[in-house]
């Protein structure tokens, strides 16, 4: 059976800026334990969380004023580069003792990390989320752990028709599923555009915006593979011209913890009533409630996928974005394997023929592995 591969060469959110400080933080990223902390000059730093001596987590050690971590098992001293600069047991420094230091970029309140080959990490590729630091915007944010493989979350977000069925009491109504999307993209981006015109406002928008008339609702999603998704929302009374209306953005940072566990980071921003703390609290509670519905569903789906990894799925037109998303991930995984000189791991999957009449797109989910 083939593996459930993870894209390693990519910028993922590792932590929020305010999570990283002088207290060592362990977080698993793409199957690797990472020790996050901040150097004295304020720079966010991330090293492999295994002491080069006996693999004890550095995050259980002590960070000194000299930015050196002392391992709490036998006292190896690791500097910000990940290099051992001394031990208590002997005056000479162990040769070649070092741990991996991950490429890190901090921008707009996000600590981005590159878990793969550092030679391929280009800070220019870090997803740009200026609204997270824009004074004209405010946002609520957090992270929720998800016991499901990352691709299921990617597909969840690239096919928002599920709002109609899974979130009918908050953000979903019949208009979402009924409104076709336009799908575009290039490079590592897949985008969809769904403009719902003259529809009834779903419960969440009625309560958080006070909208009672019919609305135009725009849902424009951008997936930047491997782990970033931004949903651009515009809500306005029907017929209102841009730039009027309420604007919201939802950022999802989908960072694999392991092959079947995902950190589900989120930030929900808005450009209206930005001083309204009560509204922020309401939106955070609402967002967490919606995400819990997704998490419950995705964790069940993980079981169903893991116990029948070979099933060929049926797809329809609204799956086009999701299928492009998973194909992009699949392609990146293959490119990484090729870069490492590995033969492709998986043969071509049997696929359903494209359905002219039924409108089915061929399914191309990577074969997931059964989990132990």
- Under the rule (CB under 8 A), what is the footprint of a second copy? 31, 33, 49-50, 52-57, 60, 70-76, 84, 87-90, 92-97, 155, 159, 161-162, 164-166, 174, 177-178, 180, 297, 300-301, 304-305, 307-308, 311, 313-318, 352, 355, 357-360, 372
Of 244 and 308, the one with the shorter C-beta distance to a second copy is 308
Distances (CA, A) of 303 to 105, 148, 232, 357: 35, 8, 31, 32
Residues 6+ apart with CB under 8 A from 95: none
Of 94 and 109, the one with the shorter C-beta distance to a second copy is 94
Residues 6+ apart with CB under 8 A from 101: 45, 46, 47, 48, 80, 81, 82
Of 343 and 372, the one with the shorter C-beta distance to a second copy is 372
Sheet order of strands, 12-16 included? 12-16, 110-113, 104-107
Provide the minimum distance between the beta carbon of 76 and a second copy in the complex, in angstroms, as a whole number.
Answer: 8
Provide the minimum distance between the beta carbon of 178 and a second copy in the complex, in angstroms, as a whole number.
Answer: 6
Provide the minimum distance between the beta carbon of 102 and a second copy in the complex, in angstroms, as a whole number.
Answer: 15
Of 106 and 159, the one with the shorter C-beta distance to a second copy is 159
Question: 154 and 162 in contact (C-beta within 8 Å)?
Answer: no
| Site of tokens 């950190």 | 263
Provide the minimum distance between the beta carbon of 324 and a second copy in the complex, in angstroms, as a whole number.
Answer: 15
Provide the minimum distance between the beta carbon of 38 and a second copy in the complex, in angstroms, as a whole number.
Answer: 23
Q: CA 83, CA 101: separation in Å to the nearest integer? A: 9
Angle at the Cα of 51 from the Cα atoms of 48 and 52, rounded to 5 degrees: 95
Of 22 and 54, the one with the shorter C-beta distance to a second copy is 54
Angle at the Cα of 143 from the Cα atoms of 175 and 326, rounded to 5 degrees: 60
3-class state of residue 139 by DSSP: strand
Provide the minimum distance between the beta carbon of 362 and a second copy in the complex, in angstroms, as a whole number.
Answer: 12
Of 319 and 336, the one with the shorter C-beta distance to a second copy is 319
């Amino acid at each position: 059976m083939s593996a459930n591969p993870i894209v390693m060469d990519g910028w993922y959110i590792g932590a929020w800026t305010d999570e990283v400080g002088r207290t060592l933080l362990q977080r698993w990223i793409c199957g690797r334990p990472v020790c996050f902390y901040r150097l004295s000059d304020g720079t966010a730093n991330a090293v492999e969380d295994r002491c080069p001596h006996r693999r004890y987590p550095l995050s259980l050690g002590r960070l000194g004023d000299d930015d050196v971590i002392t391992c709490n098992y036998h006292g190896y001293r690791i500097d910000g580069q990940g290099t051992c600069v001394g031990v208590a047991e002997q005056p000479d420094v162990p040769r070649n003792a070092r741990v991996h230091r991950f490429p890190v970029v901090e921008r707009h309140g996000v600590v981005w990390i590159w878990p793969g080959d550092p030679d391929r990490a280009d800070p220019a590729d870090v997803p740009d989320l200026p609204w997270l630091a824009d004074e004209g915007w405010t946002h609520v944010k957090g992270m929720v752990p998800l016991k499901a493989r990352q691709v299921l979350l990617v597909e969840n977000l690239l096919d928002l028709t599920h709002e109609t069925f899974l979130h009918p009491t908050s953000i979903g109504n019949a208009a979402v599923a009924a409104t076709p999307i336009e799908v575009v993209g290039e490079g590592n981006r897949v985008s969809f555009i769904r403009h719902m015109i003259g529809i009834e406002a779903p419960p969440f928008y009625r309560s958080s915006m006070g909208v009672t008339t019919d609305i135009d609702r725009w849902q424009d999603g951008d997936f930047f593979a491997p782990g970033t998704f931004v949903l651009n929302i515009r809500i306005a009374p029907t017929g209102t011209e841009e730039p009027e209306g309420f604007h919201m953005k939802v950022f999802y940072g989908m960072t694999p913890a392991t092959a079947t566990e995902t950190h589900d980071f989120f930030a929900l921003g808005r450009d209206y009533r930005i001083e309204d703390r009560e509204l922020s609290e309401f939106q955070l509670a609402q967002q967490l409630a919606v995400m819990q519905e997704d998490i419950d569903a995705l964790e069940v789906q993980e079981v169903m996928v893991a116990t029948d990894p070979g099933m060929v799925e049926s797809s329809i037109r609204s799956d086009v974005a999701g299928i492009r998303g998973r194909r992009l991930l699949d392609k990146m995984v293959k490119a990484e394997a090729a870069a490492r000189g590995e033969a492709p791991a998986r043969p071509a999957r049997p696929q359903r023929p494209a359905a002219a009449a039924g409108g089915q797109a061929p399914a191309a989910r990577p074969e997931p592995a059964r989990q132990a």
